[in-house]
Amino acid sequence: MDTVFIEQLEVEALIGIYDWERNIRQPLWFDIEMAFDNRVPAATDAITDTLDYKAVSKRVAGYVEASGFGLVETLAERVAALILDEFPVRRVQLKLSKPGAVRGARAVGVKIVRERAVAA
């Protein structure tokens, strides 16, 4: 299976469990890899046959900007589910990084892999 990716999508969000975090917006970085068969768009050279990474980016950014979760784990799960529900991908690997959250570390976060449920 082919992969369509979005690397280091930066989105400002209300995220965190501490009181001070509930009053500011913080940058988050998303690295997203989506399993998608690129043979059809490669054969047709038509944008309508592709996985539109701009549309995915805009949808993720809009969702994240409107969210207000305490944990990056929760946000990662919701974003992965959104991508699987709204876009024609079989699998999504998502890395969510919270830069500057731990002194001495460039970023901390989570990496998850989720797959579309197989219909019975």
Per run of 10 residues, the mean pLDDT along the chain (length 120 residues) is 96 92 94 97 94 97 96 97 97 96 93 86
98 carries an active-site annotation: yes
Res 120: pLDDT:
60
CATH class of 3-115: alpha beta
* Contact status, residue 89 vs residue 116, Cβ threshold 8 Å: yes
Res 1: pLDDT:
84
- 3 three-class SS: strand
Single out the catalytic residue among 54, 58, 98, 111: 98
| Cα–Cα distance, 76 to 94 (Å, whole number) | 7
Indicate the domain borders of the chain: 3-115
Question: Which among 96, 70, 98 is positioned nearest to 83, based on CA atoms?
Answer: 96
In this prediction the pTM is 0.93
Res 118: pLDDT:
73
Question: Which among 96, 99, 100, 97 is positioned nearest to 113, based on CA atoms?
Answer: 96
Res 28: pLDDT:
98
Res 19: pLDDT:
87
* Contact status, residue 93 vs residue 111, Cβ threshold 8 Å: yes
